[in-house]
Amino acid sequence: MGTTAEGNGVAEANGNSGQPPAPPRKWYHINKQFMPIKLIYFCCHAAGISILPLLTLHMTSIGLTFADVAQVYLFMPVASFLGPPVIGFLADRTGRIRDLYIGCLVMHCVFHHALLFVPPSPHTTPEALAASANGTTLSCTDWPPPSCANLTRSLHCHLECPPDSEGELIACPAGDSCLSVGAAAELVLQLGADGCQLPALLTDNVTELELAHAELSCPDGCRLECAPGDELPISDRTTYWTYFFLRLAATFFLAPAFTLLDATCLAVVKEFRSPGQNFGRQRVGGIIASVIMPPLVGAIIDAVSTPGAADYSPAFYAMEICMVLTIVTIFVFHLHVSLPEKAHIGQLFKVLRRPEALVFILVVAILGSMWGFLESFLFVFLKKLKAPTYMLGLTMTVAGLASIPANWWSDAICSRIGHINILIISFFGYLVRYVGYSYIRNPWLAFPFELLEVATTHLMWNSAATYAGQLAPPGLLATLTGFAGALHYSFGRGIGSFLGGYLMALFGPVIAMRSMGVASGVCGVLYALAFYGCLRGHMTRRELRQRQKALARQQSEKFGEGPHEMAAMLEEVGMAAK
């Protein structure tokens, strides 16, 4: 009886009298309302991460030069900027937002897959460049020179003859008499924009002739020692322009796909307000995709490729499989796709009149250019160090795993260190990454520098987004954050890829890496001096004036001063704040 009474007392104390005890609470909880958006984030980001990091390698594999790559990336921000507003306008007019979203997914897959069918440039593919020697010897018995298919740059040649011979080049221009040119003359076997040889150019201190190869003879027993010219290799223009327009079309549809996905996620979070379910946690699916997919796709590419010829088609097929899963998830869960908030462009320019906001936007764009160069050319650099493709994917896995705790506690980290300090640290993080990459000769040594992506990318953007919230007036948070994101991930990336690509083409990857690193360090020092030497004091004085004016208004309303007394009080406040 005592036991029963004791049990009943406990039951009554718990408010469950006459009912079985509640089952123990599980250590995990699946929120079915948010499961669809998490799945879509995983599938959509898995599709993008399968192909986007490898597209620069694919461009070089079909013969596009670093200069070509730089030009393509320069114009990609234009497509990124145009895509979202055009699709948003069509959605406003038709109301068929989900259909347009699915259409964007399908079209970006179609145009990206079409890149597989771009005809390769015959003169500047890795195979052609490997087959062409840095220097060559042409025997006079082999004149005329080999076909232009074996040349990727013009050759600058000098006649070399035995010591006891006084050989000379004999030039017989059409319609003119023959003449001999001494051994000091330079013979340039030119390469045209279409990859074929132009007439040879023969120069010495007196003569400069353009000759067909048949109009030039070389004495027996001599040879021509040739070295490549300093000009950049030229890819086939059909290859370049076909790739250029297909890539821009793919980017045009890709940009609104991710914009609409983020807007839908925000709408779902607002509709189903649930403890612990914020915007960042829905994006965890995308981080998981960046951890899993790159090494998996890289391993498949290594398995199907042959020595000297990489096959990147598995990345395209993985993208399409993941995109089909995305569309199926949308239909199965009847997901309602939402449009992003309208941007208040006119009010945005009022915000940018503030010096600290203008400098902040400039800093975000510069950091975007630093990020863009690495995103576009780091894999190319590691490939030159003989890195396997699966190792390239592992670099993203390591960076993704390291970013999870940083994103989870990003608010605490930003509050502790300071938003401006994190932006400054990001500049110096890029300095260490760039200079560190330039010195490694073993691709596996890149992993320690990849860990710095936690600071240069993840903490940097979390800090920038939070700081934008402090700078933005009420109602302009989404506008300023979106503008900063577009400058960082689109405009900044395009500028960084363009400048870095030309540095790679002109000076090679080592000099390009170190130049970008030094530039990042200089920008970090300048930003620190500008903020702590000028902007912080300017912001403090303005905030002081605003607080004092607000206090003056309160006193005026309380004691009932007239407009003239109010104006005099505000003037005194302004003088005191200077």
Domains contained in the chain, CATH given: 30-123+235-340 (1.20.1250.20), 129-228 (no CATH), 351-577 (1.20.1250.20)
Sites in the chain below the pLDDT cut of 50:
1-17, 27-28, 148-149, 193-196, 278, 566, 569-570, 572-578
Q: Is 443 helix (H, G, I), strand (E, B) or coil?
A: helix
Beta bridge partners of 192: none
CB atoms within 10 A of CB 332: 10
Instruction: Report the Cα 497 to chain-centroid distance in Å.
Output: 7
CA proximity to 484, closest of 347, 372, 366, 355: 366
- What pLDDT, on a 0 to 100 scale, did the predictor assign at position 142? 60
CA proximity to 420, closest of 559, 267, 253, 534: 534
Token pair for residue 406? 């940083």
DSSP string, 467-509: HHHHHSPTT-HHHHHHHHHHIIIIIIHHHHHHHHHHHHHHH-H
- What pLDDT, on a 0 to 100 scale, did the predictor assign at position 149? 46
pTM score: 0.73
Q: How far apart are CA 453 and CA 172, in angstroms?
A: 63
Report phi then psi at 32, rounded to 5. Answer: -65, -25
Rg (CA), the chain: 32
pLDDT in tens, 325-350: 988 888 887 766 666 666 566 666 77
